[in-house]
Structure 1
């Protein structure tokens, strides 16, 4: 198409996590340098070393407790950087993404300064110094996501009936919606998923919930699904549900999510706060960002990590064990907080963020689209 054709990389997540994935270190180059030294190679294949470099995320092939800094998001230690509940990080995506990021003329990111007041300006300047441009085009979701229309309703009769009944029996914003998205699921920790459902089913004060199993990796034992669906307290949907319609139903008040930004974006258009269970990818950074002061919109779960903590945590004051009992206790405490004073603060913050994002959509984000067109 010629040398004047511009190429851009679309990143549908916060810019803080984009830097962490695409720009911090040249993962393949680091692995190749280690592999070239027989002593450092220590009998490993190049593929094994690349995986270990990705896991460490600190410029080496070993976790060392190094502090990692992300502009606009909370710092974390290298051992806090990844969640392994969906399996180890996908090396190919990291390596090819870095290669692509060095070659493009710019980046389109679905965020705004109102959401990332530090991250967006920092990254814009960072990439300009590399001769690249960054366009922060705002939260991009279907037009109907931005409406308050009661006409947007779930098409499945079971889902609609459950939500309508929850409003009658428990009131508006009483339902917890659970989904790990279309690509992820905590397959490495099924015992913690079962503990989550056991906790919800045995709460003294019911917290009605809908659990969507729409993802490719998502599954639950048949007997557990039957137990939930006959309890009257929850509904497991082992079929595709229209997430947008659920989030816009007046019954849904909380979203337990992996922190993937497509899900986050859809919920933020409706002012719904989060409970974050990071599973993989950029989700630990997203969870830290969404739960950070001064205006958090989420509670982040920590006892759902895959195994005991490898070192100190900058975000949790309790020892992370990865055990079922600890996770169950955290679930109970989190649900109590969500339905108490802390939850009210998070909901107010989420509603303010929704208004800011709507204003940005016709203001800042619209101007960014004009810049993109001119580019």
Structure 2
């Protein structure tokens, strides 16, 4: 008989909800699948309230109940065998008993009443400075972690999962393990993206890698005496009009669409070095929360390029979500109540699948061209399309005069935050206009919603191309695209970007007509088929295989 010993892994997340949430869900799903695993997640203070709220949500009620018995029909891990009652009791612990969430903060850091970008930047510095103390205590099996009791003091960490944009982690772990004279534990990077975008980001420059080129140009300038901030600002995400072919996707001129989003040089300084982190020898693998079956060419290319195990674990949701269960909705604030009341009313007035949900995520926004949002909302109103607009950008505020324009229209609802999972699964919601970030794409897929895409940056262009050109479940808006150099006004497919209000609204009008017609329903059917592929992967395909491998990959 095989006895699986207790194991312990550390999670170091980035203080961005779009990164942290899927990593949190991944961690909980690993605990659910592997009864021998224990987890310590080391969070920055700004994220702790949201992590706590997520853990207490109805979606994760199962973490407070005992796991199914290994002798029952639904064994969490069929490879585990128990020979004593004590071992069986260990498996039967609730998942929450194998989890500890610890806030990493120094005594000198003053917690603000309200978080702003400046304070968030200070928090990032404090987190990097404080993290080694907590990791060292965990690896030394200390009883207390800066005043917090270590629930797992008898189990030293076996591996760490960290957000790849925490670029200091490999060196931090080398320093800690050298200091306490312990062997290095495997480090597994997490990137909330697909394989195609990860390849574009982390490949070698000669193979089309964007970060490698940015890093080389920046390093060369700094070596010549240029100020680092200026150097990163000069080379970060510049449109060059170069044809790029990413494995599994059609060729395009460049990929990012950064000219509507101001990216400070400090942001490039934080993220571009992730190229070195991902290719670091201490990083033994990379996790992508997307199903390999929907982008096999990109996965194969990424594995070959990095020479590491790529864990394509699929979108991370509780098992109940995959089973088609939808927990009873709960309004947490006045905005939630408005959203639910609006959707209920639209369902009665216009019927099921009548509302278009507009959300560009919690970070991105066309700051340099805010009129784009005005055009979209006005076009929807003119078309008679009821819409819900959530404008929770962390970098911009929607002009009040624009919000006031729709406040008295009963077919429009505008809020800062919307409970997105409840929204996309509401029977009145029929379509999703999105930036096509990783989380929004996954939620739209599971809710079987056709999409209208407006990507800005990061991996959004790669997701958009996959959805609109490979699987044809989305319509990519083209006239809203903006390039840093006005000379680049032509897309690879020959489309000329006019970019005027007239051209944009004409394209929008055509888009609304298409999704309301037979093609819209065909897109919905194709999205259902895509969801089925992803679900099969989760239940018994590559996603399940890689989730199982993650729980034993440290051995």
TM-score scaled by length of structure 1: 0.87
Counting matched residue pairs gives 355
Q: Give the 3 Å change call, closer, same or farther, for CA 15–331 of structure 1 in structure 2.
A: same
Q: Which digits, 9 at most, give the CA deviation of each residue in 1:347-372, with x for residues without a partner?
A: 11111111111111111211111222
Q: What is the aligned partner in structure 1 of residue 524 from structure 2?
A: 347
Q: Which digits, 9 at most, give the CA deviation of each residue in 1:286-344, with x for residues without a partner?
A: 21121113x221111111123656153124x4311232222111111111111122212
Q: What is the aligned partner in structure 2 of residue 60 from structure 1?
A: none
- Which of 204, 217, 224 is matched with 1:30 structurally? 217
For the residue of structure 1 that corresponds to 2:526, the secondary structure is: helix
Q: Which digits, 9 at most, give the CA deviation of each residue in 1:257-300, with x for residues without a partner?
A: 1111111111111111211111222212221121113x221111
The CA distance in 1 between the partners of 2:523 and 2:256, in whole Å, is: 24
* Superposition deviation, residue 150 in structure 1: 5.6
The CA distance in 2 between the partners of 1:217 and 1:9, in whole Å, is: 27
For the residue of structure 2 that corresponds to 1:105, the secondary structure is: strand
- Which of 167, 170, 173 is matched with 2:350 structurally? 170
Q: What is the aligned partner in structure 2 of residue 140 from structure 1?
A: 316
The CA distance in 1 between the partners of 2:277 and 2:426, in whole Å, is: 40
Q: Give the 3 Å change call, closer, same or farther, for CA 319–259 of structure 1 in structure 2.
A: same
Contact 2:358 2:388 in 1 (8 A): yes
2:389 aligned with 1:211 = yes
Q: Which digits, 9 at most, give the CA deviation of each residue in 1:34-77, with x for residues without a partner?
A: 5657xxx9xx75544433433347xxxxx2x3211111122211
Contact 1:107 1:134 in 2 (8 A): yes
Contact 2:434 2:453 in 1 (8 A): yes
The CA distance in 2 between the partners of 1:242 and 1:374, in whole Å, is: 35
* Superposition deviation, residue 243 in structure 1: 0.4
Contact 2:199 2:301 in 1 (8 A): no
Q: What is the aligned partner in structure 2 of residue 370 from structure 1?
A: 548
Contact 2:489 2:498 in 1 (8 A): no
The CA distance in 2 between the partners of 1:217 and 1:35, in whole Å, is: 29
Contact 1:174 1:252 in 2 (8 A): yes
Q: Which has the higher contact order (CA 8 A, sep 6+)?
A: 1
Q: What is the aligned partner in structure 1 of residue 236 from structure 2?
A: 54
Q: What is the aligned partner in structure 1 of residue 433 from structure 2?
A: 256
* Superposition deviation, residue 119 in structure 1: 1.3
Contact 2:453 2:477 in 1 (8 A): yes
The CA distance in 1 between the partners of 2:270 and 2:514, in whole Å, is: 37
Q: What is the aligned partner in structure 1 of residue 290 from structure 2?
A: 111
* Superposition deviation, residue 182 in structure 1: 1.2
Contact 1:145 1:266 in 2 (8 A): no
Q: What is the aligned partner in structure 1 of residue 257 from structure 2?
A: 82
Q: Give the 3 Å change call, closer, same or farther, for CA 309–359 of structure 1 in structure 2.
A: farther
The CA distance in 2 between the partners of 1:215 and 1:265, in whole Å, is: 19
The CA distance in 1 between the partners of 2:448 and 2:406, in whole Å, is: 28
The CA distance in 1 between the partners of 2:368 and 2:343, in whole Å, is: 31
- Which of 438, 463, 475 is matched with 1:286 structurally? 463
Q: Give the 3 Å change call, closer, same or farther, for CA 306–144 of structure 1 in structure 2.
A: farther
The CA distance in 1 between the partners of 2:312 and 2:287, in whole Å, is: 6
TM-score scaled by length of structure 2: 0.60
Q: What is the aligned partner in structure 1 of residue 337 from structure 2?
A: 157
For the residue of structure 2 that corresponds to 1:259, the secondary structure is: coil
* Superposition deviation, residue 168 in structure 1: 1.6
- Which of 125, 137, 157 is matched with 2:304 structurally? 125
Unaligned runs of 5+ in 2: 1-176, 204-208
Kindly report the root-mean-square deviation, in angstroms, between the aligned alpha carbons of the 2 structures. Answer: 2.3
For the residue of structure 2 that corresponds to 1:229, the secondary structure is: coil
The CA distance in 2 between the partners of 1:178 and 1:309, in whole Å, is: 30
For the residue of structure 1 that corresponds to 2:286, the secondary structure is: strand
Q: What is the aligned partner in structure 2 of residue 100 from structure 1?
A: 277
2:401 aligned with 1:223 = yes
Q: Give the 3 Å change call, closer, same or farther, for CA 151–256 of structure 1 in structure 2.
A: same
Structure with bigger gyration radius:
2
